[in-house]
Every structure is written in structure tokens, then in C-alpha cells.
């Protein structure tokens, strides 16, 4: 029973006491009014999906606007983030404290919480930042997974909620959706319900311009239950959602809607997608919808109906609080949700660091990371590991970790499959849900595939750790397709992201410690495939990597030159310093494992570390960004283009990233003996 | 009829005169020998897919190793690029001039053409660089599309070939595969045939660890024909491929194979995927396969059989040459394949540039790009435009361009859908196939989604133009999810990629001209949403953007300070220069639209442009990379973190990227009146 006809103005007349039409029309009116006032925004989606959202919230979504962080709330994700006014309208009517009508009037204005796309952390009740299409859907998979994993640990009493997603055509066309739905179907995340705004319109016009895919068949192939429903038929929607909640597989509900429902001339066309309707069209829509209220005004009855949803949520939350108080697992549950590392965590790491300084292992930093994770995963149960099908290369697995499997969510390791983008988004979902600290591995070069979601880790300030191994031409034979050259720069350029490139086992442990403590910042650990000696053979209580950069080898008497390196090239700097000593040049070696943290030190500290002598930067990567450290007189020894396929040693020679090249660069700057 | 049992050693006994088993075993032996000799590589896939490859080549693939660039050859794409030895083995046996047995013996060594993953341009007969999973499949979609588009223009006589892909589980799990197969299914690319190495094994173990997807149902949902076949049954494979060639939709053939077929203990396990087999296993494999020849030796009969394939191709090519010679379209066809711009192309652009200097339009550079494209698309028929569903935002469409549609390939515009990654890969495929110059649009921030394929544009040196609009906080209200901050750095860090950020309509035209002439380098045009004045009001015959950077406003008498900016911030630098003049500070303004080209100028030229006066860099993006131009004493006016949602003007004020901020930065460096 489809009503795609745009003249079918009155959506389903709900006989129940909830005035469904009015509740939905309030969302439509707020969206068109706010977009009109802002002179920019997207009215089409909120107007088209208002009925779906009303059916979903009126009957099903359980949350408490007074306690937006209640752990067992349902998660509602607006993956089609351009329809932000739908969410802001809902949150306004539900009574979130920050979402007064003034905020709707200041939609998309500086200082308002009503950003163009919903931003987690900026606005209450926004579970994740959306806008880049497909991200919300994939992040929701992580949240639904977190729910099951916590449920496995704490039971139905404390953890039993749904994850609802509104997704658009764009979300389903983006590649990340494939990775996400495959993983969700495989893991049988039955409490994940996706409501697809199937309006047949994208920005360029009808979706038939660019797709012929049978989405229901596609989701079914991925192990989902699927349904199709008239997105303007209240009862049918309620029935569909109720059915979706009852199955053991995730569900896609295709909601056939009219974009911009109610707009007299623009509904059902791309004209209503992303621009204000204009005064005449809004007037026409008001008339057609029977919404005779001034802009931004919502009658009391409608407000009361929406407030009832919040009230229902408050009761549920209070009942849950009682269950929590009575639960023997309270402390463990709260510790998990707070994500605090155990009190003796740092002590255990310090003891292990002392061991490392003494044993001075010569291992690849990916191996050092595995060793560190052995200690970390034993010291806290917060960590949840995984890899995008490179477990034995990334060395992300440690003994005793049980993999999560379909229907068996008690484990702490995730086989993400060959899905770097979804891995990053799922980790965002795990972190946002709270209850764990996710880390996941792939090769550094494949951060290309994950970048869209990594950016959101940074923008949302989530504690997610990216274990990115094979971090340079040092990976050798796999060749230029697998050798990162520009990726350190790409990641360093991203705000609020720690990019650690540790030089040895001690720095690797320190980087892990910093990453796990960085509650508001995701981290990248760029790790070598090839073995590296341990330089930090004198134990330091202090986390020197926390300074971002420091003098790892002091000059013997005076400082003639400062060699600055990261990761595997610190070894090379040491060797160059030895060679220079033979030529009576006294070199300091600076390790610079985390530029972001180094930037944060005082100018005096930085000056002291970098010194006033000429400087040579060394990194088996592109130069971009290095001029900051080496200055105008400085030299750089690194990559100038893409890599090549050959054993690592041959490549370092071939690309002239050698101790001798560093000596030559130095002797260009100084007089060498 | 599946023979997934690993002890079933003898694949199908072919009764025909082609010794199928021996042809396939030659590929297996070469792969295991080369990997063993290299002490690294991936034997499992070549051994598992040797039967499939043999069936495909023996009966179907038409190409001429003596003329690897014959335009009407079939395209064979090894999307599972880690199985490179399969391709090198084939190319060796087919007789490619560069692929002597010495190259197989030097697999993965420095200077050899047998790189770890197949590299286009490095090795004959490698149609595209693969290794990053899914890329080959998506690029093949572009090639199959190119075939249809050229066929529409030149007919079956000149253009009538197939695109064959071997893809692995990883290719099908990656998100890009979704975008690619949806587009291929939608466009009904019936001559695209994908052979899936369905071996049930990925690096972490059985694929059931991470996926439950019914791939056949999935491809069917996307509009493909699908088949399942025993990947070791020669006749069944031949029948399947023959059937696939006869249909009007693209076809997926799921080939059930045993990874590492023949290896006595490791076949069918992940142990055979990515490591040498070891001497004992190889000996056992030789015995089981009945291959009693020393390493790297192939008996004459087998060589003759493979050479017959090449011979068949040569005849086909010669027949085609005759058709071409007799064709009235010869000149037009050759011009298209050579990709040469018309002789009067630059003249037309110069005339338009003169107009621009005179009319000095105040338009966004995205609009300037649209205006330039109006001239360009009229001056050459090589360009093929498109957008990832942002046509009216990217302004990539020009009047008269007909969109390509399913079954109707005569157009020059592509509705790529909301598929940035596939768009980039498809453009690579169009460029690699030859016959057009593809350009495609999205927002700059969504280069995140496309980066994996953009990197390959650069690595392969393909003339692909990325029209990336909405290039800063200047996009305004859409907020930080849509505001690029790190993307210019990410792209500038990528080798062999021109990143143009033009400041006005003249620079935009110049950037287009350079991009279209850059036959071995892809280009990014980073374009503003907001209007900008034209500075270049004096016509210059010379393409000043081609210098990468130049003084766009000279100081009046002396140069007290140099303001260096790109794109929309050049306007701001002009305003700051005016303000500084009031304070008796004489500023030069340098426009730096393309760092890569500026780097390429002589040191003297660069010194002259940058000057010796203190410098201030201005860009509404992160600082990373700018220290190269502003030096240690320099200041930078730009972004320090993510953006925000508000009107553009408010954001520039909020983030303090203003003429006043530039004046302040300058007066920090100098004494201002």
C-alpha cells in the first residue's frame, strides 16, 4: 500500500490517542522553518521521514533526555546526517536540555548546537557525528556489536537495547555500507534495525540515474531480514518495526517515502533535497498538511505527546537504575562504561618497561606492539582487539583472547574481514557506545581505505587505536602499492589524532600507554615490519614519548648537528652519528615519535631539543611537514616518490636512505673532516 | 561437481589437443619456484587459480604480446594482485618481450619487472596496478565502460572486446567492490566477466571467520548474471565463460577452488597464501601434480600450447589492423586513442583567457571551472565528465553533454552515483583503456573516500582530473564533516599528483589547461564554493599557474613582507596588503596554486618569488607543509583544528583567517606604523 503520489497529503490517520499526523507534521514544520530561517539546509529528508521517525519514537525508542548518557538507552543514529533537522526537531520535542526553540531558530549559525550535520559531543542526544554518507550505518554496527558484547558480560538486566538507524540512498550506495552490512549480517546483530528512506531521489535526480540495485535482495544476501513498507503508513511502520525487533538477524525496513512530503510543487523531486523551500512553498505545505501554526510554534497537545516518549524513557531508566543498584556486577559495569584503566595499570606497564630496557630486544615495532599488548590485555579487560584480516601481520592478537563469533559475543577479538573502512567505523561505534577501548590493525598504506572513518574518530575525539604496521619501504617486496609514502603526512595533518611512530620496543610501549590514556583523542601506531634495536636501554620512569620528541642520544661534547628521525630511521641516525664521530662531527640524535605532542611542549623545550646546530631530518617517507623541524637550512633524507618492490635493505640503499646519505647531507651543511 | 578435496590432485583431464593440465601446472610450478627463490610472495592464489586462468586464456583471451597496446585487445585484470606470479607466469609463456625467465627468477628483486604486485607501466601486459584489494575490479568497470563508449562511437569493427577479471575474497569484501558492481550492473556492462577465486580462505583463516554473505545473490541483486563452477574443471569453466560472454549483463563466475592446489600439506589452508612453500612442500607438490621438471623449466610442448594463444591473438590483431586501415574512422579513432588534444585547443583557451582578463568575473572557482569546461568540452571531444551525485554543486556538467545510460553509451557524462571511490577507480579504468580524458567531481573532503584509487591514479601516472569543490570552511553551514582541513596536505603529500588551488577564474582556466596536458600525472582542482574576484586582469599569454607560484601583486617600491596564499585566500592577501599599505608596509602577494610545479622551478626562480623579506602564509587549512614556504621566521594564518557550521563569512572571522589577522601576523614580524 504505497502512497508515493505527492498529492496524498494526509498520512495515515492514526485512530489511537497519539496524534501521529500532528507529531509528524511538527517535525516537518520545524525542519522547513529552520532551513528557511538559516537560508540553507535540507528540508526534503525530514519532511519525507517524519512519519517513520514518529512511528519509531512513539512506540519503540527508549531513552531519557534527562540522562542522555544512560548506558542502556536505545541508540538512534541518523546516518543520513544532512537531515539533521529531523533529529534536532525530535530532540527539541523530547525535551533535551540544550535543544530549546532558540537553537532551532539558529540552525547552522555560529555558536549554535544545531550544526549543519549532527555532531556528537556538540549536541546532546547525538550518538555519533554523521554527514559523510554511510558512516552512521557502519558506526551503528559497532554500537549494536558493543551492546551484544556487553550483554554477554553483564546480562539482559543491565544491557538490552536496540540500535535504530535512518539511512538514505547515499548511505546504501557508499562502499562502506557493504562492509558494514556484511559484518552485521555475519555477526547476527539482531537488535540492529535500519530504516531506509527509500524515496528514489538523490541530488542529481532520480536514483535510477545511477543505480538499479535491488537493495532488499542485497541485504538478504548479507544475512539480513528485509521488509518493505509504506513510509507514510503509521500502523504498517509500527508493525514492521515490531517484527524487526522480534528476529535474530539485523533488519532492513525499506520505507517507501516521498521526499519533501507536503511541499506542494517540490515534493518527490530533487529540488526539495538541499535548499530552502521558499515562503510560497512553505505556505502551500502548511495548507496541505493542515498545519496552521506560525513558524517554530508547536501546539501544546503535540508537545505533550512527544514529552510522553521522554517520560516513558525516564521510567525505563529509573527501573534500570534499580536493577543496577541491586546487581552484584555494578562496580564492574560502571568501570567498563567509564572506561577507566585499572589503578595498577601504569605500574604493570612500568615494570614491563624496565624489563625491556634491560633485555633490549631487537624486534620489529609491530612485534614490540604485540609484546606490549600481551601485558596490556592482561592488565585490563577494556581492550577489544582486531584486524582487517591481517592478524598475523599486524600482530594484534594476544594469547587467550577469544574471537567474537556470530551469536557468541563473549570474546575480545574481532575478525573484521578485509574491511578497513568498516573496521574504523565499527571501532568508533564501540568507543561511542562505551564499555571498551577498541584497537584494530591493518597496513599503514590502507589507512587510505579507512580515512573517512578515521577522520570521524578524530572529529568526535574517540579513544580508538589504529595499529598500522608495515609503515614504510621497510616492508620490502610487496612493493609501492603497499609502501606508505604520504600516509604519515596525511594522518599528521588530521587534527586531534596522535600519530606515533616509535623507534624501538620501549617507545612502542610508551606509545601504547599514551594512546590508552588519551580519552579524547584517537591514536595511530605506525609500526615497522623489520627488526629494530632497542635504544632506550636506561629505564626511565617518565614516558619520554609523551614529550613527542626528545634527545635520544646526546652529543659527546658539543652539538655540531642534530639528526632528527622517527621510527625505524632512528637506528639509521645512530649509525650516522657513529660515522660522523669518525669525521669529528658531534651529532645529537632526536627521536620525534609524536609530532602532535611535541608541538604541545613549550617553545623552550622544543628549542632545546631541536638545538641551534644545523639539522637533518630522516624518515622513510615524503618530506611534507618536515621543514617545520629542520628549518630553512636543514636537509631531509627520505622518499621523493613512490617505493619499489625489493628486499627492504636493497630499497633503503636504492632510495639513498642510509647512514652514508645522512653523513653526506650533514657534510653539505658543515665542514666534515 | 566440486573437487574441493585437496587430495584430488589431477584437475580435469582435457581430451582436446591442448594439454590443459600441463599448461596449468606450468603456472603453478613457476609460481612456487619464483616465490621460493624470492623467499617471499604468494603461491596459494596462482596455484589455486591456474586452471581457471588456463581455461580463460586457452579459449577466450585475445591479445597480442607483440603489440601489448593493441587497442581492441581483451583486458585481463588480476584484481587479486598478490597473485602476481600467475600473471607473470602467463605473460612469460605468452612471450611478452620483457618477461624472460630471468625476470621470474628475479621475482620481487630490485630492478626486476616482476614486482610483488603487478605494476602498470613497469611491466608489459599489466593493464592496471593491483594489490590494494578491490581496485582491479573497480578499474575493470571503467575499462569495460570505455569499451562500450568507444564502441558506441566507432562500432563493432574497431571496438569489440571483453574485460576479464580475476578477483579474490578480499576484492569482494572491500567496500569499493559494492560501488563498482552496482555501477556495472546498472550500466549493463555485459562484456565484463569476473572470475571469483572462491577458495574460502583469507589471511586470518577460513572466510567464515568474517563473512556469511551469499555473493551470488549479492551480485544478482546488483543486476549481474551469476554462475558457480568447479574451478578445477576445465570444460565446466570453458562452458561457463562461453555462457558469460553471451549475456547482456556483467557476469560473476564463482570458481570453487583449492588455494595452493597441489601442495601436499598446505593446500586449502591459509598457510599457502603468502609465504614460500619450502623445499619439501614443493617437492611434494611436483610429485602430486606429476610435474617432473626442474625449477623454472617448462617443456617445449607446454610452451608451444601457450604460444598458440599469442599466435591466435596476433592473427586477430592483424585482421583488426586491416579493418582499421579500411575504416573511414581511422583518423578519429587514432586521435581518440592517442588522447591528443586538438591542434587549436590551446588557442581557444587563450582566447577565452583573454576574455576572462577583460570581463574579470567575480565567481566561485567551481563556477569558473564550469565556465572553463564549457570552452574545453566544446574544443575537444576527449573529455568525459561526471560527478558522484553532486553535479549541481561541483558544476561538472556543461550544456550539450549527454549522460551515459544503461545500453546507451554514446554520451560524455557519467552519473557515478554516491560512489566516490568507484568514481576514481572507474576514471582510472577509462584513462588506462585510452580513448578519453575523464574528470569527475565530489567535495574535497570526500577525497577521503576516494583516496585509495586516487593514489593509484598517481602511481600509474594517469591523466585523470579530480574536480574537488567546497574546498575549505568557505563552504559554510554544512559544517566540519564537510569542511576539508587536512585534505590539501594529504593530496600534496601524494607523489605525482598535481594539486591546483586556483585563486580566480584565470588561474582556474590555467589549471584546467595544465591538467589536460599532464599526460602522466593526475590532477586535483580544489575549488571554492564562494565567489572570488578576478585578480589576473592583465592577459598573460603564458600560463602563470604552470610555474606553480608567482608574484600576483608586486610591492609598490620595496618588499617589506611577502604574503603567500592559495585559492580563496589570495583575495584575503590582497586586502591585507591594502591594509598594510595604510601602515606603510609594502607587501608582495604570491599566489601558490600548485606546490608540485613550484618545487620543480629553479632555486633562483623560487627564491625570487618567495623573496628575502619575512613571509606570511595564508590558507584556510592546516599548517602542515607550509613551513617549507614561510621559513622558520614565518607566520601562518589558517586552521588549527576542525571547522564549524556557520555562514562562511562568520567562520573566517571565527577562525581568525582575516586581513586583520594577516596584518597582525605581519606586524609581529615587522615594525608597522
In this predicted structure, what is the pLDDT of residue A4? 36
Q: In terms of domains, do B512 and B560 share one?
A: no
Provide the grid cell at A7. Answer: 498529492
A170 touches chain B (CB under 8 A): yes
Report how far residue A488's alpha carbon sits from residue A494's, in angstroms, rounded to the nearest whole number: 10
Q: Which of A289, A322, A355 is the last residue of a domain?
A: A322
Give the total number of structural domains in chain A: 3
Assess whether pLDDT exceeds 90 at residue A1.
Answer: no
pLDDT 10s digits, B561-620: 999 999 999 999 999 999 999 999 999 999 999 999 999 999 999 999 999 999 999 999
Secondary structure letter of residue B477 according to DSSP: T
Q: In terms of domains, do A228 and A350 share one?
A: no
Contact A493 B489 (CB under 8 A): yes
pLDDT 10s digits, A453-497: 999 999 999 999 999 999 999 999 999 999 999 999 999 999 999
Report how far residue B584's alpha carbon sits from residue B503's, in angstroms, rounded to the nearest whole number: 26
For residue A134, the distance in angstroms to the closest alpha carbon of chain B comes to 10
Please state the rounded mean pLDDT for residues A291-316: 97
A420 contact residues in B (CB cutoff 8 A): 174
Q: In terms of domains, do A383 and A522 share one?
A: yes
A110 touches chain B (CB under 8 A): yes
pLDDT 10s digits, B142-189: 999 999 999 999 999 999 999 999 999 999 999 999 999 999 999 999
> Do the domain assignments include residue A479?
yes
For residue B232, the distance in angstroms to the closest alpha carbon of chain A comes to 25
Q: Where are the alpha helices (DSSP H) in B600-669?
A: 603-610, 627-630, 648-654, 659-669
Assess whether pLDDT exceeds 80 at residue A20.
Answer: yes
A319 touches chain B (CB under 8 A): no
Give the pairing of strands B550-553 and B587-591: antiparallel
Please state the rounded mean pLDDT for residues A195-221: 97
Provide the grid cell at B531. Answer: 565567489
Using DSSP's 3-state secondary structure scheme, residue B553 falls into strand
Helix (H) or strand (E) holding B369: helix B365-379
Is A482 one of the annotated binding-site residues?
Answer: yes
In this predicted structure, what is the pLDDT of residue A14? 46
> Do the domain assignments include residue B7?
no
- Domain encompassing residue B98: 20-322
Q: In terms of domains, do A40 and A96 share one?
A: yes
In this predicted structure, what is the pLDDT of residue A17? 57
Contact B490 A492 (CB under 8 A): no
Report how far residue B507's alpha carbon sits from residue B567's, in angstroms, rounded to the nearest whole number: 9
pLDDT 10s digits, B409-439: 999 999 999 999 999 999 999 999 999 999 9
Provide the grid cell at B571. Answer: 583575495
Q: In terms of domains, do A181 and A78 share one?
A: yes
Using DSSP's 3-state secondary structure scheme, residue B233 falls into coil
Q: Which residues of B are catalytic?
A: 420
Please state the rounded mean pLDDT for residues A425-440: 98
In this predicted structure, what is the pLDDT of residue A18? 56
Radius of gyration of chain A (CA): 28
Contact A445 B132 (CB under 8 A): yes
In this predicted structure, what is the pLDDT of residue B671? 83
Secondary structure letter of residue B558 according to DSSP: S
pLDDT 10s digits, A130-169: 999 999 999 999 999 999 999 999 999 999 999 999 999 9
> Do the domain assignments include residue A2?
no
In this predicted structure, what is the pLDDT of residue B668? 94
Q: In terms of domains, do B354 and B463 share one?
A: yes
B647 touches chain A (CB under 8 A): yes
Q: In terms of domains, do B514 and B569 share one?
A: no
Please state the rounded mean pLDDT for residues A284-313: 97
Please state the rounded mean pLDDT for residues B57-65: 97
Assess whether pLDDT exceeds 60 at residue B469.
Answer: yes
Which class for A497: exposed (0-12), middle (13-18), buried (19 or more C-beta within 10 A)? buried
Q: Band of the pLDDT at B14, cuts 50, 70, 90?
A: very low
Secondary structure letter of residue A402 according to DSSP: P
Please state the rounded mean pLDDT for residues A600-614: 97
A131 touches chain B (CB under 8 A): yes
Radius of gyration of chain B (CA): 28
In this predicted structure, what is the pLDDT of residue B673? 81
Q: In terms of domains, do A648 and A612 share one?
A: yes
- The pTM (predicted TM-score) of the whole model is 0.97
| CA angle, residues A117, A487, B395, in degrees to nearest 5 | 45
A243 touches chain B (CB under 8 A): no
Across chain A, which distance is largest between two alpha carbons, in Å? 95
Assess whether pLDDT exceeds 90 at residue A655.
Answer: yes
Instruction: Give the count of beta carbons closer than 10 Å to the beta carbon of residue A315.
Output: 11
Q: In terms of domains, do B351 and B403 share one?
A: yes
In this predicted structure, what is the pLDDT of residue A671? 83
Q: In terms of domains, do A263 and A352 share one?
A: no
- Cα torsion A245, A246, A250, A252: sign: negative
A280 touches chain B (CB under 8 A): no
The separation between the first and the last C-alpha atoms of chain B, rounded to the nearest angstrom, is 89
DSSP β-bridge partners for residue A208 = none
A170 contact residues in B (CB cutoff 8 A): 389, 418
Assess whether pLDDT exceeds 80 at residue A192.
Answer: yes
Report how far residue A587's alpha carbon sits from residue A574's, in angstroms, rounded to the nearest whole number: 9
Q: Which of B133, B214, B479 sits opposite A116 (nearest CB)?
A: B479
> Do the domain assignments include residue A90?
yes
In this predicted structure, what is the pLDDT of residue B7? 37
Nearest CA to B556 out of B591, B532, B580, B592 is that of B580
Order the strands of the B587-591 sheet from edge to edge. B550-553, B587-591, B561-565, B615-619, B635-638
Query: What integer best gives the mean pLDDT of chain A?
Result: 96
B631 contact residues in A (CB cutoff 8 A): 631-632
> Do the domain assignments include residue A8?
no
What angle, rounded to 10 degrees, do the helices at B659-669 and B569-582 form? 60
What 3 state SS string does A408-466 have? ECCCCEEECCCCHHHHHHHHHHHHHHCCCEEEEEEEHHHHHHHHHHHHHHHHHCCCCEE
Contact A455 B477 (CB under 8 A): no
Q: Band of the pLDDT at B17, cuts 50, 70, 90?
A: low
Q: Which of A507, A533, A559 is the last residue of a domain?
A: A533
Please state the rounded mean pLDDT for residues A257-269: 97
Instruction: Give the count of beta carbons closer than 10 Å to the beta carbon of residue A298.
Output: 21
Q: Which of B110, B204, B628 sits opposite A646 (nearest CB)?
A: B110
B217 contact residues in A (CB cutoff 8 A): 217, 220-221
Q: Which of A38, A218, A654 sits opposite B222 (nearest CB)?
A: A218
Q: Which of A202, A389, A417 sits opposite B389 (nearest CB)?
A: A202
> Do the domain assignments include residue A117?
yes
The answer to whether the beta carbons of residues B128 and B79 sit under 8 Å apart is: no
Q: In terms of domains, do B554 and B523 share one?
A: no
Is A315 one of the annotated binding-site residues?
Answer: no
Task: Tell me the CA distances in angstroms from B498 to B152, B464, B487, B510, B525, one per residue in order.
Answer: 32, 10, 13, 13, 8
A603 touches chain B (CB under 8 A): no
Is A246 one of the annotated binding-site residues?
Answer: no
Percentage above 70 pLDDT, chain A: 97
Report the residue of chain A nearest B131, measured CA to CA.
A481
> Do the domain assignments include residue A278?
yes
Q: What is the CATH number of the domain that holds B427?
A: 3.40.50.970
Report the residue of chain B nearest A223, measured CA to CA.
B213
B211 touches chain A (CB under 8 A): yes
In this predicted structure, what is the pLDDT of residue A241? 98
Report the residue of chain B nearest A459, measured CA to CA.
B642
Q: Which of A114, A117, A170 sits opposite B418 (nearest CB)?
A: A170
For residue A261, the distance in angstroms to the closest alpha carbon of chain B comes to 22
Please state the rounded mean pLDDT for residues B547-557: 97
Annotated active-site residue A420? The verdict is yes
With a CB cutoff of 8 Å and minimum separation 6, the contacts of B212 are A182, A185, A186, A222, A223, A406
Q: In terms of domains, do B149 and B187 share one?
A: yes
B202 touches chain A (CB under 8 A): yes
Please state the rounded mean pLDDT for residues B249-266: 98
For residue A215, the distance in angstroms to the closest alpha carbon of chain B comes to 7
In this predicted structure, what is the pLDDT of residue B5? 35
> Do the domain assignments include residue A338?
no
Q: Band of the pLDDT at B335, cuts 50, 70, 90?
A: very high
For residue B312, the distance in angstroms to the closest alpha carbon of chain A comes to 33
Which class for B328: exposed (0-12), middle (13-18), buried (19 or more C-beta within 10 A)? exposed
Q: Which of A182, A207, A456 sits opposite B211 (nearest CB)?
A: A182
Question: B419-445: buried (b, 16+ CB within 10 Å) or exposed (e) per residue?
Answer: bbbbbbbbbbbbbbbbbbbbbbbbbbb
Amino acid at each position: 500500500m504505497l502512497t508515493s503520489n505527492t498529492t496524498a497529503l494526509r498520512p495515515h490517520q492514526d485512530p489511537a490517542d497519539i496524534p501521529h499526523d500532528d507529531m509528524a507534521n511538527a517535525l516537518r514544520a520545524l525542519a522547513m522553518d529552520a532551513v528557511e530561517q538559516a537560508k540553507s539546509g535540507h528540508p526534503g529528508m525530514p519532511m519525507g521521514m517524519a512519519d517513520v521517525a514518529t512511528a519509531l519514537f512513539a512506540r519503540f525508542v527508549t531513552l531519557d533526555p534527562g540522562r542522555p548518557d544512560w548506558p542502556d538507552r536505545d541508540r538512534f543514529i541518523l546516518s543520513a546526517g544532512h537531515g539533521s533537522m529531523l533529529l534536532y526537531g525530535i530532540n527539541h520535542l523530547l525535551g533535551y536540555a540544550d535543544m530549546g526553540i532558540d537553537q532551532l531558530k539558529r540552525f547552522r549559525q555560529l555558536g549554535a548546537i544545531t550544526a549543519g550535520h549532527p555532531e556528537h559531543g556538540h549536541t546532546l542526544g547525538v550518538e555519533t557525528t554523521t554527514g559523510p554518507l554511510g558512516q552512521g550505518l557502519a558506526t551503528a554496527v559497532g554500537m549494536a556489536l558493543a551492546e551484544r558484547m556487553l550483554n554477554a558480560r553483564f546480562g539482559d538486566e543491565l544491557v538490552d537495547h536496540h540500535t535504530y538507524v535512518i539511512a538514505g540512498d547515499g548511505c546504501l550506495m557508499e562502499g562502506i555500507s557493504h562492509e558494514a552490512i556484511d559484518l552485521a549480517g555475519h555477526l547476527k546483530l539482531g537488535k540492529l534495525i535500519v530504516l531506509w528512506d527509500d524515496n528514489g531521489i538523490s541530488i542529481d535526480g532520480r536514483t535510477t540515474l545511477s543505480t538499479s540495485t535491488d537493495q532488499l535482495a542485497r541485504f538478504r544476501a548479507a544475512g539480513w531480514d528485509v521488509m518493505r513498507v509504506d513510509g507514510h503508513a503509521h500502523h504498517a511502520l509500527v508493525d514492521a518495526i515490531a517484527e524487526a525487533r522480534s528476529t535474530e538477524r539485523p533488519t532492513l525496513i525499506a520505507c517507501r517515502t516521498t521526499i519533501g512530503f507536503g511541499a506542494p510543487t517540490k515534493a518527490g523531486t530533487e529540488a526539495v533535497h538541499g535548499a530552502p523551500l521558499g515562503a510560497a512553498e512553505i505556505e502551500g505545505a502548511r495548507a496541505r498538511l493542515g498545519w496552521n501554526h506560525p513558524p517554530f510554534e508547536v501546539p501544546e497537545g503535540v508537545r505533550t505527546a512527544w514529552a510522553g516518549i521522554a517520560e516513558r524513557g525516564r521510567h525505563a531508566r529509573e527501573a534500570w537504575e534499580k536493577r543496577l543498584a541491586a546487581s552484584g556486577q555494578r562496580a564492574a559495569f560502571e568501570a567498563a562504561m567509564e572506561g577507566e584503566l585499572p589503578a595498577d595499570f601504569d605500574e604493570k606497564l612500568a615494570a614491563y618497561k624496565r624489563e625491556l630496557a634491560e633485555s633490549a630486544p631487537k624486534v620489529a615495532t609491530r612485534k614490540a606492539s604485540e609484546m606490549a599488548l600481551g601485558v596490556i590485555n592482561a592488565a585490563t579487560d577494556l581492550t577489544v582487539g582486531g584486524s582487517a584480516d591481517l592478524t598475523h601481520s599486524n600482530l594484534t592478537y594476544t594469547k587467550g583472547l577469544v574471537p567474537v563469533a556470530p551469536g557468541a559475543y563473549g570474546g575480545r577479538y574481532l575478525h573484521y574481514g578485509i574491511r578497513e573502512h568498516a573496521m574504523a567505523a565499527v571501532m568508533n561505534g564501540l568507543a561511542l557506545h562505551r564499555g571498551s577501548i577498541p584497537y584494530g590493525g591493518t597496513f599503514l598504506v590502507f589507512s587510505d581505505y579507512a580515512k573517512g572513518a578515521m577522520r570521524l574518530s578524530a572529529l568526535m575525539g574517540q579513544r580508538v587505536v589504529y595499529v598500522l604496521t608495515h609503515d614504510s619501504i621497510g616492508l620490502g617486496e610487496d612493493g609501492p602499492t603497499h609502501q606508505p609514502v604520504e600516509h604519515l603526512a596525511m594522518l599528521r595533518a588530521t587534527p586531534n589524532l596522535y600519530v606515533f611512530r616509535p623507534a624501538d620496543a620501549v617507545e612502542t610501549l610508551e606509545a601504547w600507554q599514551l594512546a590508552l590514556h588519551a580519552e579524547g583523542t584517537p591514536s595511530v601506531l605506525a609500526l615497522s615490519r623489520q627488526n629494530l634495536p632497542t635504544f632506550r636501554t636506561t629505564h626511565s620512569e617518565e614516558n619520554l614519548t609523551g614529550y613527542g620528541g626528545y634527545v635520544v642520544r646526546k652529543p659527546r661534547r658539543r652539538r655540531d648537528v642534530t639528526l632528527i628521525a622517527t621510527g625505524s630511521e632512528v637506528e639509521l641516525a645512530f649509525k650516522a652519528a657513529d660515522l660522523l664521530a669518525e669525521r669529528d662531527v658531534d651529532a645529537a640524535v632526536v627521536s620525534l615519535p609524536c609530532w602532535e605532542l611535541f608541538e604541545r611542549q613549550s617553545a623552550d623545550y622544543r628549542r632545546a631539543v631541536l638545538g641551534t646546530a644545523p639539522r637533518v631530518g630522516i624518515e622513510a617517507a615524503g618530506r611534507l611537514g618536515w621543514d617545520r623541524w629542520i628549518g630553512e637550512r636543514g636537509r631531509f633524507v627520505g622518499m621523493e616518490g613512490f617505493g619499489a618492490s625489493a628486499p627492504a635493505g636493497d630499497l633503503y640503499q636504492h632510495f639513498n636512505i642510509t647512514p652514508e646519505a645522512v653523513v653526506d647531507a650533514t657534510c653539505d651543511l658543515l665542514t666534515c673532516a
